[in-house]
Amino acid sequence: MVQGRAKKDRLPALAPKQIGRVSAQEIDPRVIQYLRGDYLRPEQPPFMACFERLQQVAADKGWELPHHRTLQRNFLKNVPEPVITLLRKGQDALEMMYPPQTRDRSEFHALEAVNADGHKFDVFVTKDGSKPFRPHLVAFQDLYSGKILAWRWAESFTAELVRLTCGDLFKNYGIPDLCWFDNGRDFASKMITGGTKTRYRFKIVEEEPVGFLTALGVDVSWARPGRGQSKPIERAFRDFCNHIAKHPKFAGAYTGNSPQNKPSNYGEKAIDAKVFDAVLNAGVAAHNARAGRRSRVCAGKMSFDQAFEASYANSVIKKAGPEQLRMCLLAGEVKKTDRRSGVVTIKGNTYWSEELAGMPSEKVIVRFDPDNLHTEIHVYKMDGSYVGAAPVFEAQGFADAKAARDHSNAKKKFMKAQRLLAEQEVAMSVADVAALVPVDMPEPETPDPKVVRGVFKTRGNAAVKPNFDWDAFEDNIEHLPTPEDI
Protein backbone atom coordinates (compact mmCIF):
# COMPACT_ATOMS: atom_id res chain seq x y z
CA MET A 1 0.00 0.00 0.00
CA VAL A 2 2.93 2.33 0.57
CA GLN A 3 5.31 0.92 -2.01
CA GLY A 4 6.73 3.62 -4.23
CA ARG A 5 5.27 6.46 -2.17
CA ALA A 6 7.12 9.23 -0.39
CA LYS A 7 7.18 9.14 3.39
CA LYS A 8 4.86 12.14 3.64
CA ASP A 9 2.21 10.29 1.57
CA ARG A 10 2.34 6.93 3.36
CA LEU A 11 -0.09 7.78 6.15
CA PRO A 12 -2.90 8.88 3.79
CA ALA A 13 -2.28 5.75 1.71
CA LEU A 14 -2.88 3.57 4.79
CA ALA A 15 -6.17 5.35 5.67
CA PRO A 16 -9.36 3.29 5.14
CA LYS A 17 -11.13 3.94 1.88
CA GLN A 18 -14.46 2.34 2.63
CA ILE A 19 -17.30 4.28 0.97
CA GLY A 20 -20.27 2.34 2.31
CA ARG A 21 -23.02 0.60 0.41
CA VAL A 22 -22.76 1.06 -3.33
CA SER A 23 -26.23 -0.11 -4.32
CA ALA A 24 -29.20 2.06 -3.23
CA GLN A 25 -32.31 0.48 -1.75
CA GLU A 26 -35.47 0.92 -3.76
CA ILE A 27 -38.26 2.81 -1.92
CA ASP A 28 -41.93 2.64 -2.87
CA PRO A 29 -42.90 6.03 -4.45
CA ARG A 30 -46.17 5.97 -2.47
CA VAL A 31 -44.14 5.99 0.75
CA ILE A 32 -42.23 9.09 -0.38
CA GLN A 33 -45.42 10.91 -1.42
CA TYR A 34 -47.13 10.19 1.91
CA LEU A 35 -44.06 11.29 3.85
CA ARG A 36 -43.81 14.54 1.89
CA GLY A 37 -47.46 15.36 2.49
CA ASP A 38 -47.14 14.75 6.24
CA TYR A 39 -43.70 16.23 6.91
CA LEU A 40 -43.70 19.29 4.61
CA ARG A 41 -46.38 21.44 6.28
CA PRO A 42 -46.38 24.59 8.44
CA GLU A 43 -47.09 22.67 11.66
CA GLN A 44 -43.52 21.29 11.40
CA PRO A 45 -44.09 17.78 12.83
CA PRO A 46 -40.89 15.88 13.75
CA PHE A 47 -39.71 13.23 11.33
CA MET A 48 -40.14 10.33 13.75
CA ALA A 49 -43.78 11.28 14.41
CA CYS A 50 -44.39 11.20 10.66
CA PHE A 51 -42.58 7.86 10.38
CA GLU A 52 -44.69 6.29 13.14
CA ARG A 53 -47.88 7.34 11.33
CA LEU A 54 -46.35 6.02 8.12
CA GLN A 55 -45.82 2.63 9.77
CA GLN A 56 -49.53 2.43 10.58
CA VAL A 57 -50.49 3.32 7.01
CA ALA A 58 -47.90 0.94 5.53
CA ALA A 59 -49.22 -1.96 7.66
CA ASP A 60 -52.75 -1.24 6.42
CA LYS A 61 -51.78 -0.79 2.74
CA GLY A 62 -49.08 -3.47 2.61
CA TRP A 63 -46.24 -1.09 1.79
CA GLU A 64 -42.67 -2.19 2.46
CA LEU A 65 -40.71 0.27 4.57
CA PRO A 66 -36.93 0.63 4.92
CA HIS A 67 -35.23 1.61 8.15
CA HIS A 68 -36.23 5.10 9.33
CA ARG A 69 -32.65 6.35 8.97
CA THR A 70 -32.47 5.15 5.40
CA LEU A 71 -35.81 6.78 4.64
CA GLN A 72 -34.83 10.06 6.29
CA ARG A 73 -31.48 10.14 4.50
CA ASN A 74 -33.10 9.44 1.13
CA PHE A 75 -35.91 11.92 1.75
CA LEU A 76 -33.69 14.81 2.80
CA LYS A 77 -31.27 14.15 -0.06
CA ASN A 78 -33.97 14.39 -2.73
CA VAL A 79 -35.81 17.48 -1.39
CA PRO A 80 -33.90 20.79 -1.58
CA GLU A 81 -33.39 22.57 1.71
CA PRO A 82 -34.99 25.85 0.46
CA VAL A 83 -38.14 23.91 -0.42
CA ILE A 84 -38.24 22.33 3.04
CA THR A 85 -37.80 25.78 4.62
CA LEU A 86 -40.55 27.32 2.50
CA LEU A 87 -43.11 24.59 3.19
CA ARG A 88 -42.34 24.21 6.90
CA LYS A 89 -41.27 27.70 8.02
CA GLY A 90 -42.88 30.01 5.48
CA GLN A 91 -41.98 32.81 3.11
CA ASP A 92 -40.12 34.94 5.65
CA ALA A 93 -37.76 32.12 6.61
CA LEU A 94 -37.06 31.40 2.95
CA GLU A 95 -36.26 35.06 2.39
CA MET A 96 -33.68 34.91 5.18
CA MET A 97 -31.81 32.20 3.25
CA TYR A 98 -31.02 34.73 0.53
CA PRO A 99 -27.96 36.85 1.33
CA PRO A 100 -28.92 40.38 2.46
CA GLN A 101 -28.16 43.41 0.36
CA THR A 102 -25.21 45.51 1.47
CA ARG A 103 -26.41 49.12 1.31
CA ASP A 104 -23.58 51.65 1.26
CA ARG A 105 -24.58 54.88 3.03
CA SER A 106 -21.24 56.57 2.52
CA GLU A 107 -22.47 57.94 -0.82
CA PHE A 108 -24.46 60.58 1.06
CA HIS A 109 -23.19 63.57 2.99
CA ALA A 110 -24.38 64.76 6.39
CA LEU A 111 -28.13 65.58 6.48
CA GLU A 112 -28.61 64.65 2.84
CA ALA A 113 -30.69 61.61 3.81
CA VAL A 114 -32.40 60.64 7.06
CA ASN A 115 -34.63 57.84 8.27
CA ALA A 116 -37.20 57.92 11.05
CA ASP A 117 -39.20 55.44 13.06
CA GLY A 118 -41.03 55.04 16.36
CA HIS A 119 -39.98 52.98 19.38
CA LYS A 120 -41.91 51.95 22.49
CA PHE A 121 -39.72 51.81 25.59
CA ASP A 122 -39.92 48.83 27.94
CA VAL A 123 -40.18 51.12 30.96
CA PHE A 124 -43.13 52.20 33.09
CA VAL A 125 -43.34 56.01 33.36
CA THR A 126 -45.80 58.20 35.23
CA LYS A 127 -46.54 61.88 34.71
CA ASP A 128 -47.89 63.92 37.62
CA GLY A 129 -49.09 60.79 39.40
CA SER A 130 -51.01 59.47 36.40
CA LYS A 131 -51.49 55.82 35.53
CA PRO A 132 -48.17 54.23 34.45
CA PHE A 133 -47.59 54.01 30.72
CA ARG A 134 -44.82 52.98 28.34
CA PRO A 135 -43.47 56.05 26.50
CA HIS A 136 -43.37 56.23 22.71
CA LEU A 137 -40.31 57.71 21.02
CA VAL A 138 -39.97 59.25 17.54
CA ALA A 139 -36.39 59.72 16.32
CA PHE A 140 -34.63 60.89 13.14
CA GLN A 141 -31.25 59.43 12.24
CA ASP A 142 -28.71 60.73 9.74
CA LEU A 143 -28.04 57.94 7.23
CA TYR A 144 -24.49 59.05 6.43
CA SER A 145 -23.08 59.14 9.95
CA GLY A 146 -25.67 57.22 12.00
CA LYS A 147 -26.17 60.12 14.41
CA ILE A 148 -29.56 60.60 16.09
CA LEU A 149 -30.45 64.16 15.11
CA ALA A 150 -33.87 64.75 16.68
CA TRP A 151 -36.11 62.87 19.09
CA ARG A 152 -39.25 63.39 21.15
CA TRP A 153 -41.41 61.14 23.31
CA ALA A 154 -45.02 61.15 24.46
CA GLU A 155 -47.63 58.89 26.02
CA SER A 156 -48.85 57.73 22.60
CA PHE A 157 -47.57 57.69 19.05
CA THR A 158 -49.33 60.38 16.98
CA ALA A 159 -48.84 62.46 13.86
CA GLU A 160 -48.38 65.50 16.11
CA LEU A 161 -45.35 63.84 17.69
CA VAL A 162 -43.86 63.21 14.25
CA ARG A 163 -44.57 66.78 13.18
CA LEU A 164 -42.90 68.34 16.22
CA THR A 165 -39.85 66.09 15.86
CA CYS A 166 -39.53 67.20 12.24
CA GLY A 167 -39.60 70.78 13.51
CA ASP A 168 -36.72 70.07 15.87
CA LEU A 169 -34.71 68.56 13.01
CA PHE A 170 -35.31 71.54 10.73
CA LYS A 171 -34.61 74.11 13.45
CA ASN A 172 -31.39 72.56 14.78
CA TYR A 173 -29.78 71.22 11.59
CA GLY A 174 -31.71 71.93 8.38
CA ILE A 175 -33.92 70.31 5.76
CA PRO A 176 -32.83 66.93 4.30
CA ASP A 177 -33.22 65.98 0.65
CA LEU A 178 -34.28 62.36 1.21
CA CYS A 179 -36.24 60.73 3.99
CA TRP A 180 -37.12 57.10 4.65
CA PHE A 181 -40.21 56.63 6.79
CA ASP A 182 -41.87 53.73 8.50
CA ASN A 183 -45.08 52.75 6.72
CA GLY A 184 -47.27 53.66 9.72
CA ARG A 185 -50.43 55.74 9.59
CA ASP A 186 -48.92 58.55 11.64
CA PHE A 187 -45.95 59.05 9.34
CA ALA A 188 -48.32 58.91 6.34
CA SER A 189 -50.57 61.65 7.76
CA LYS A 190 -51.87 64.03 5.09
CA MET A 191 -50.47 67.06 6.91
CA ILE A 192 -46.98 65.50 6.83
CA THR A 193 -46.67 63.61 3.54
CA GLY A 194 -49.85 64.54 1.67
CA GLY A 195 -49.29 64.72 -2.08
CA THR A 196 -46.42 62.21 -2.11
CA LYS A 197 -46.77 59.97 -5.18
CA THR A 198 -45.80 56.75 -3.42
CA ARG A 199 -47.98 57.32 -0.37
CA TYR A 200 -50.51 54.48 -0.29
CA ARG A 201 -52.08 55.14 3.09
CA PHE A 202 -55.60 56.56 3.41
CA LYS A 203 -57.83 57.41 0.49
CA ILE A 204 -56.16 59.59 -2.15
CA VAL A 205 -58.35 62.48 -3.37
CA GLU A 206 -57.59 65.23 -5.89
CA GLU A 207 -58.12 68.08 -3.40
CA GLU A 208 -55.87 66.49 -0.78
CA PRO A 209 -53.81 69.06 1.16
CA VAL A 210 -50.10 69.16 0.44
CA GLY A 211 -48.05 67.92 3.42
CA PHE A 212 -45.27 70.13 4.70
CA LEU A 213 -42.54 67.63 3.76
CA THR A 214 -43.89 67.53 0.21
CA ALA A 215 -44.12 71.33 0.11
CA LEU A 216 -40.50 71.63 1.28
CA GLY A 217 -39.27 69.33 -1.50
CA VAL A 218 -38.27 66.38 0.71
CA ASP A 219 -38.31 63.13 -1.31
CA VAL A 220 -40.11 60.63 0.96
CA SER A 221 -39.67 56.86 0.60
CA TRP A 222 -41.33 54.11 2.61
CA ALA A 223 -39.84 51.05 4.28
CA ARG A 224 -41.40 47.66 3.67
CA PRO A 225 -43.83 46.67 6.43
CA GLY A 226 -42.24 44.32 8.97
CA ARG A 227 -38.75 44.75 7.51
CA GLY A 228 -36.51 46.35 10.08
CA GLN A 229 -33.46 45.72 7.86
CA SER A 230 -34.52 48.59 5.61
CA LYS A 231 -34.35 51.06 8.53
CA PRO A 232 -30.86 51.48 10.04
CA ILE A 233 -32.40 53.31 12.99
CA GLU A 234 -33.64 49.94 14.28
CA ARG A 235 -30.02 49.16 15.19
CA ALA A 236 -29.92 52.33 17.28
CA PHE A 237 -33.13 51.33 19.04
CA ARG A 238 -31.48 48.06 20.07
CA ASP A 239 -28.74 50.11 21.76
CA PHE A 240 -31.42 52.16 23.49
CA CYS A 241 -32.89 48.96 24.93
CA ASN A 242 -29.53 47.96 26.41
CA HIS A 243 -28.24 51.35 27.57
CA ILE A 244 -31.39 53.35 28.36
CA ALA A 245 -34.26 50.98 29.15
CA LYS A 246 -32.01 48.96 31.48
CA HIS A 247 -30.43 52.00 33.13
CA PRO A 248 -29.91 51.68 36.92
CA LYS A 249 -32.29 54.58 37.54
CA PHE A 250 -35.04 52.51 35.92
CA ALA A 251 -34.61 49.51 38.24
CA GLY A 252 -38.03 48.21 39.18
CA ALA A 253 -39.70 50.01 36.27
CA TYR A 254 -38.27 47.81 33.49
CA THR A 255 -40.99 45.63 31.92
CA GLY A 256 -38.97 43.23 29.78
CA ASN A 257 -39.18 43.07 26.01
CA SER A 258 -41.95 40.42 26.01
CA PRO A 259 -44.43 38.85 28.45
CA GLN A 260 -42.16 35.81 28.65
CA ASN A 261 -39.15 37.94 29.65
CA LYS A 262 -40.63 39.88 32.56
CA PRO A 263 -38.10 40.57 35.33
CA SER A 264 -38.77 39.29 38.83
CA ASN A 265 -39.42 42.87 40.04
CA TYR A 266 -41.95 43.60 37.28
CA GLY A 267 -44.32 46.45 38.13
CA GLU A 268 -42.48 47.39 41.30
CA LYS A 269 -42.54 51.11 40.48
CA ALA A 270 -42.90 53.70 37.73
CA ILE A 271 -40.33 56.37 36.84
CA ASP A 272 -41.26 60.04 36.94
CA ALA A 273 -41.48 61.64 33.50
CA LYS A 274 -38.80 64.22 34.29
CA VAL A 275 -36.33 61.52 35.36
CA PHE A 276 -37.07 59.49 32.23
CA ASP A 277 -36.57 62.55 30.02
CA ALA A 278 -33.21 63.35 31.61
CA VAL A 279 -31.92 59.76 31.29
CA LEU A 280 -33.19 59.57 27.68
CA ASN A 281 -31.41 62.77 26.63
CA ALA A 282 -28.20 61.69 28.32
CA GLY A 283 -28.44 58.23 26.75
CA VAL A 284 -28.94 59.59 23.22
CA ALA A 285 -26.01 61.98 23.67
CA ALA A 286 -23.79 59.11 24.86
CA HIS A 287 -24.96 56.98 21.91
CA ASN A 288 -23.86 59.69 19.47
CA ALA A 289 -20.55 60.36 21.26
CA ARG A 290 -19.40 56.73 21.68
CA ALA A 291 -16.10 56.35 19.79
CA GLY A 292 -14.90 53.40 17.74
CA ARG A 293 -18.02 52.87 15.66
CA ARG A 294 -17.47 50.15 13.08
CA SER A 295 -19.51 51.60 10.25
CA ARG A 296 -17.88 52.26 6.89
CA VAL A 297 -17.84 56.01 7.55
CA CYS A 298 -16.51 55.83 11.13
CA ALA A 299 -13.97 53.11 10.22
CA GLY A 300 -13.73 51.87 13.82
CA LYS A 301 -12.25 55.17 15.02
CA MET A 302 -14.75 58.01 14.97
CA SER A 303 -18.04 58.47 16.79
CA PHE A 304 -21.32 59.33 15.10
CA ASP A 305 -20.89 62.92 16.26
CA GLN A 306 -17.43 63.22 14.77
CA ALA A 307 -18.43 61.69 11.43
CA PHE A 308 -21.46 63.97 11.17
CA GLU A 309 -19.59 67.16 12.08
CA ALA A 310 -16.78 66.47 9.62
CA SER A 311 -19.21 66.09 6.72
CA TYR A 312 -21.68 68.75 7.88
CA ALA A 313 -18.98 71.45 7.83
CA ASN A 314 -18.14 70.74 4.16
CA SER A 315 -21.63 70.13 2.75
CA VAL A 316 -24.34 72.30 1.25
CA ILE A 317 -27.14 72.41 3.83
CA LYS A 318 -30.66 73.75 3.28
CA LYS A 319 -31.45 75.85 6.33
CA ALA A 320 -35.05 76.29 7.45
CA GLY A 321 -36.44 79.81 7.69
CA PRO A 322 -39.39 81.03 9.78
CA GLU A 323 -41.83 80.01 7.04
CA GLN A 324 -40.57 76.41 6.94
CA LEU A 325 -40.49 76.11 10.73
CA ARG A 326 -44.02 77.44 10.95
CA MET A 327 -45.26 74.65 8.68
CA CYS A 328 -44.05 71.87 10.97
CA LEU A 329 -44.11 73.45 14.42
CA LEU A 330 -47.79 74.43 14.15
CA ALA A 331 -50.72 72.05 13.97
CA GLY A 332 -52.59 71.94 10.67
CA GLU A 333 -56.22 71.41 9.73
CA VAL A 334 -58.33 71.80 6.61
CA LYS A 335 -61.10 74.36 7.07
CA LYS A 336 -63.71 75.99 4.85
CA THR A 337 -64.04 79.77 5.00
CA ASP A 338 -67.36 81.51 5.57
CA ARG A 339 -69.39 81.98 2.39
CA ARG A 340 -69.77 85.73 2.97
CA SER A 341 -66.87 87.10 4.99
CA GLY A 342 -64.20 84.39 4.63
CA VAL A 343 -64.00 83.90 8.42
CA VAL A 344 -62.26 80.74 9.69
CA THR A 345 -63.54 79.09 12.87
CA ILE A 346 -61.33 76.84 15.02
CA LYS A 347 -62.63 75.38 18.28
CA GLY A 348 -65.07 78.22 18.83
CA ASN A 349 -62.61 80.99 17.93
CA THR A 350 -62.98 83.08 14.78
CA TYR A 351 -60.08 84.36 12.67
CA TRP A 352 -60.12 86.81 9.78
CA SER A 353 -57.87 88.95 7.63
CA GLU A 354 -58.32 91.03 4.49
CA GLU A 355 -56.79 88.21 2.43
CA LEU A 356 -59.56 85.88 3.59
CA ALA A 357 -62.22 88.38 2.48
CA GLY A 358 -61.45 87.40 -1.10
CA MET A 359 -61.70 83.66 -0.42
CA PRO A 360 -65.35 82.92 0.50
CA SER A 361 -66.48 79.26 0.65
CA GLU A 362 -62.96 78.03 -0.10
CA LYS A 363 -61.05 75.17 1.52
CA VAL A 364 -57.79 76.27 3.14
CA ILE A 365 -55.09 74.79 5.37
CA VAL A 366 -54.77 76.59 8.70
CA ARG A 367 -51.76 76.17 10.96
CA PHE A 368 -52.01 77.18 14.60
CA ASP A 369 -50.59 76.61 18.05
CA PRO A 370 -53.07 74.28 19.81
CA ASP A 371 -51.84 75.47 23.20
CA ASN A 372 -52.42 79.15 22.40
CA LEU A 373 -55.52 79.70 20.28
CA HIS A 374 -55.82 83.40 21.21
CA THR A 375 -53.06 84.45 18.83
CA GLU A 376 -52.98 84.60 15.06
CA ILE A 377 -53.20 81.62 12.72
CA HIS A 378 -51.46 81.12 9.38
CA VAL A 379 -53.52 80.29 6.31
CA TYR A 380 -52.34 78.33 3.26
CA LYS A 381 -54.05 77.31 0.06
CA MET A 382 -54.55 73.61 -0.63
CA ASP A 383 -51.49 73.59 -2.92
CA GLY A 384 -49.29 74.78 -0.03
CA SER A 385 -48.93 78.45 -1.06
CA TYR A 386 -49.03 80.93 1.81
CA VAL A 387 -52.04 83.29 2.08
CA GLY A 388 -51.21 85.22 5.23
CA ALA A 389 -51.76 85.52 8.97
CA ALA A 390 -55.26 85.91 10.40
CA PRO A 391 -55.66 87.37 13.91
CA VAL A 392 -58.29 86.11 16.32
CA PHE A 393 -61.60 87.93 16.69
CA GLU A 394 -62.23 87.71 20.41
CA ALA A 395 -65.77 87.81 21.75
CA GLN A 396 -66.52 91.06 23.58
CA GLY A 397 -69.03 91.92 26.30
CA PHE A 398 -72.49 92.84 25.10
CA ALA A 399 -72.33 96.23 26.87
CA ASP A 400 -68.68 96.96 26.11
CA ALA A 401 -68.95 100.32 24.34
CA LYS A 402 -65.22 100.67 23.73
CA ALA A 403 -65.02 97.28 22.02
CA ALA A 404 -68.00 98.25 19.88
CA ARG A 405 -66.33 101.53 18.85
CA ASP A 406 -63.06 99.74 18.05
CA HIS A 407 -64.88 97.20 15.92
CA SER A 408 -66.80 99.95 14.12
CA ASN A 409 -63.63 101.96 13.44
CA ALA A 410 -61.81 98.90 12.13
CA LYS A 411 -64.77 98.11 9.89
CA LYS A 412 -64.81 101.70 8.56
CA LYS A 413 -61.09 101.55 7.82
CA PHE A 414 -61.55 98.29 5.94
CA MET A 415 -64.42 99.65 3.88
CA LYS A 416 -62.54 102.89 3.15
CA ALA A 417 -59.51 100.95 1.99
CA GLN A 418 -61.66 98.86 -0.31
CA ARG A 419 -63.28 101.98 -1.78
CA LEU A 420 -59.85 103.45 -2.51
CA LEU A 421 -58.81 100.23 -4.18
CA ALA A 422 -62.02 100.25 -6.17
CA GLU A 423 -61.29 103.77 -7.44
CA GLN A 424 -57.81 102.68 -8.50
CA GLU A 425 -59.09 99.58 -10.24
CA VAL A 426 -61.83 101.43 -12.18
CA ALA A 427 -60.19 104.26 -14.14
CA MET A 428 -63.13 104.89 -16.51
CA SER A 429 -66.48 106.18 -15.31
CA VAL A 430 -69.83 104.73 -16.28
CA ALA A 431 -70.57 107.83 -18.40
CA ASP A 432 -67.36 107.33 -20.36
CA VAL A 433 -68.24 103.68 -20.90
CA ALA A 434 -71.76 104.63 -22.09
CA ALA A 435 -70.37 107.24 -24.44
CA LEU A 436 -68.26 104.64 -26.20
CA VAL A 437 -71.20 102.33 -26.84
CA PRO A 438 -72.74 103.11 -30.32
CA VAL A 439 -76.50 103.91 -30.31
CA ASP A 440 -77.38 104.31 -34.02
CA MET A 441 -77.17 100.82 -35.29
CA PRO A 442 -77.96 100.01 -38.96
CA GLU A 443 -81.09 98.00 -39.59
CA PRO A 444 -80.26 94.42 -40.36
CA GLU A 445 -81.03 93.11 -43.83
CA THR A 446 -83.79 90.55 -44.11
CA PRO A 447 -82.58 87.44 -45.91
CA ASP A 448 -84.68 85.82 -48.63
CA PRO A 449 -85.70 82.22 -47.89
CA LYS A 450 -84.95 79.58 -50.44
CA VAL A 451 -88.08 77.53 -49.68
CA VAL A 452 -91.50 79.13 -49.02
CA ARG A 453 -94.33 77.28 -47.35
CA GLY A 454 -97.88 78.58 -47.33
CA VAL A 455 -99.90 78.91 -44.16
CA PHE A 456 -103.67 78.24 -44.34
CA LYS A 457 -106.18 79.30 -41.73
CA THR A 458 -108.02 76.25 -40.51
CA ARG A 459 -110.38 75.43 -37.72
CA GLY A 460 -110.90 71.88 -36.67
CA ASN A 461 -109.96 69.55 -39.53
CA ALA A 462 -107.23 70.42 -41.94
CA ALA A 463 -109.70 70.56 -44.90
CA VAL A 464 -111.36 73.94 -45.46
CA LYS A 465 -115.13 73.89 -44.78
CA PRO A 466 -117.10 75.40 -47.73
CA ASN A 467 -119.37 78.42 -47.13
CA PHE A 468 -122.55 77.33 -49.13
CA ASP A 469 -125.20 79.90 -50.23
CA TRP A 470 -128.54 78.11 -49.68
CA ASP A 471 -130.69 81.08 -50.92
CA ALA A 472 -129.03 81.11 -54.32
CA PHE A 473 -129.43 77.36 -54.50
CA GLU A 474 -133.20 77.57 -53.93
CA ASP A 475 -133.64 80.32 -56.58
CA ASN A 476 -131.84 78.28 -59.26
CA ILE A 477 -133.06 74.83 -58.31
CA GLU A 478 -135.45 74.72 -61.30
CA HIS A 479 -132.53 75.03 -63.67
CA LEU A 480 -130.82 71.95 -62.33
CA PRO A 481 -130.98 68.85 -64.58
CA THR A 482 -133.27 65.98 -63.55
CA PRO A 483 -132.10 62.45 -63.19
CA GLU A 484 -133.85 61.52 -66.39
CA ASP A 485 -131.89 64.25 -68.25
CA ILE A 486 -128.69 62.90 -66.83
Separation CA 171–CA 184 (nearest Å):
24
Same domain, 81 and 122: no
Does the pLDDT value for residue 482 go beyond 80? no
- CA-to-CA distance for 111 and 149, rounded, in angstroms? 9
Lowest mean pLDDT, pick from 106-115, 167-176, 276-285, 344-353: 344-353
pLDDT confidence of residue 345: 86
Could you tell me if residue 29 is inside a domain? yes
| Residue 362, domain extent | 330-393
pLDDT band (50, 70, 90) for residue 287: very high
- The CB density around residue 138, as the number of other CB atoms within 10 Å, is 25
**Residue 483: what pLDDT?**
66
**Which pLDDT tens digit goes with each residue over 228-244?**
567 889 999 999 999 99
Over residues 205-214, the mean pLDDT reads: 66
Among the ranges given (178-182, 235-239, 273-277), the one the predictor scored with the smallest mean pLDDT: 178-182
Q: Which of 11-15, 65-69, 190-194, 384-388 has the lowest mean pLDDT?
A: 190-194
Query: Does any domain span residue 367?
Result: yes
Domain count along the chain: 3
Return mean pLDDT, the chain: 80
Please tell me whether residues 228 and 120 are part of one structural domain.
yes
What is the model's pLDDT at position 32? 87
If asked whether residues 164 and 276 sit together in one domain, one would say yes
370 and 299 in one domain?
A: no
Pick the range with the lowest mean pLDDT from 14-18, 259-263, 298-302, 439-443: 439-443
In a domain, 411, yes or no: no
CATH number of residue 148's parent domain = 3.30.420.10
How high is the pLDDT of residue 290? 94
pLDDT digits (tens, 9 = 90+) for 98-112: 887 667 788 899 999
